[in-house]
Amino acid sequence: MIHSVIIARYGELGLKSPRVRGRFERKLSSNIKASFNCEIDINQARIFIFPENFDEALDKLHKIFGIVSFSPAVSTYSNFEDIERTLSEYTDKLIEEGLITSEIPFAIRCRRVGTHDFSSQEAAAFGGSVVVRKLGCPVDLTNPKLEIFLEIRENETYIFHEKIKGPGGLPLGTQGKLISLISSGIDSPVATYLMMKRGCEIIALHFDNDPFTKEKGEEKFRKIIEQLKIYSSGVSFTTRTVSYGKYLEKCKDDAPEKMTCVLCKSGMYKIAGMLATDMGALGVVDGSSVGQVASQTLPNILATREDVKVPILSPLIGLDKVEIEKIAKEIGTYDISKEYDGGCSAVPRYPETKADIDRVRQAKEDMNQEEELAKVFKSIFNNVGQ
């Protein structure tokens, strides 16, 4: 099939005020153009995309947030003579590709915008007659095997048969920055993806726990970042790494061993909060899911976040592992995260699961947490090539 245009649709953008919608449309257009070479015209809640390379465009539109669905289409003039000629040629192509035969029930779906001397129902009936004359196939408006769409505008009509699902959400870069705590596990990349889907620019923060983790963990982190960057067209995806091993040693040496994970997570949140202030981010995102691991029981969530000065967003908080893994597989991070990296040897045999805030505060004081974290913050560096 030779197409002339791709029609992309957005969802909740249409509910915004005209001023906000216009700003979001411009950002979405910019993100599309950053992904592949094309010309764009936005008109009445439709994005008309004219790409240099259709195959490239159809592949990359799957990964641009804000797009609910898209359709490769052909165009013609909005009169019955031209619609008949173009629809007849389009049907020939569908026959060549085996998508319609004389036995396949079909339906014409018509959407009309503007002023015409015919109604949408009349246009749909006319289009159906064109296909029936050519093939004699049955019309089934209730449960068709194939739907052919006529999108009729003032002067142009677009014909297509596919509505390809996009990722939805809001255009990336419309909702401010977040610091995302990304490990080499399954959960945090999914949490990051979901906040990108809500339009947030990401600064990925990774904690290098050497000597308690192996080099394989750093390699997985780099692979995960490269996979997530596929979805960041038009917006920078910044990374920062923290040398965290000495802080973990301090936790193990100067605090009760069972509190290691609580103090580790507390320190991560505080460092992320400091970085957010430093880089103009509006919050922190992590992959917490209630009760999934020791540091994610409700008492521990409270104890680790109680003195962080920026909002902490946990989009996975009510999801179970199966639901999280399903998203990870869909976005391409699951297989990377499942690679064995040796884990973290700092985790105690019996970690704290019901942290008492007063005891946690005392442990922080005993280990001079604020002073130790100030040293850690100085170790933050930008990942070359990320």
Question: For residue 2, what pLDDT is reported?
Answer: 77
Percent of the chain with pLDDT over 70: 98
Given a cut of 80, is residue 217 above it in pLDDT? no
pLDDT confidence tier of residue 219, bands split at 50, 70 and 90: confident
Question: For residue 212, what pLDDT is reported?
Answer: 85
pLDDT digits (tens, 9 = 90+) for 288-303: 999 888 778 999 999 9
pLDDT confidence tier of residue 383, bands split at 50, 70 and 90: low
Percent of the chain with pLDDT over 90: 76
* Bridge partners of residue 108, in order along the sequence: 148
Question: For residue 346, what pLDDT is reported?
Answer: 78
Distance CA 67, CA 56 (A): 16
Task: Find the mean pLDDT for residues 251-280.
Answer: 92
Question: For residue 201, what pLDDT is reported?
Answer: 97
pLDDT confidence tier of residue 151, bands split at 50, 70 and 90: very high
3-state helix, strand, coil in the chain (%, to 5): 45, 20, 35
Question: For residue 362, what pLDDT is reported?
Answer: 93
Neighbours of 39 (CB within 10 A): 11
Q: How far apart are the first and last CA of the chain?
A: 39
Given a cut of 90, is residue 210 above it in pLDDT? no
CATH tag for 5-165 (out of 3.30.2130.30, 3.40.50.300, 3.50.40.10, 3.40.50.10190): 3.30.2130.30
Structural contact between residues 209 and 344, judged by C-beta atoms closer than 8 angstroms: yes
Question: For residue 1, what pLDDT is reported?
Answer: 63
Averaged pLDDT score across all residues of the chain: 92
Nearest residue to 157 (alpha-carbon basis) of 137, 139, 135, 130: 130
Distance CA 331, CA 196 (A): 12
Given a cut of 50, is residue 384 above it in pLDDT? no
Distance CA 300, CA 286 (A): 14
Structural contact between residues 69 and 163, judged by C-beta atoms closer than 8 angstroms: yes
Task: Find the mean pLDDT for residues 28-45.
Answer: 94
Distance CA 232, CA 226 (A): 10
* Bridge partners of residue 5, in order along the sequence: 73
Query: How do the domains of the chain map onto residue ranges?
Result: 5-165, 177-382
Given a cut of 80, is residue 385 above it in pLDDT? no
Kindly report which listed range (167-176, 224-233, 263-272, 333-342) carries the lowest average pLDDT score.
333-342
Task: Find the mean pLDDT for residues 103-112.
Answer: 95
In CATH terms, is domain 177-382 a member of 3.40.50.2300? no
Task: Find the mean pLDDT for residues 321-342.
Answer: 93
- Pair of tokens at residue 281: 């981010």
pLDDT digits (tens, 9 = 90+) for 37-91: 999 999 888 999 999 999 999 999 999 999 999 999 999 999 999 999 999 999 9
Task: Find the mean pLDDT for residues 6-32.
Answer: 93
Structural contact between residues 84 and 157, judged by C-beta atoms closer than 8 angstroms: no
- Pair of tokens at residue 206: 């990774």
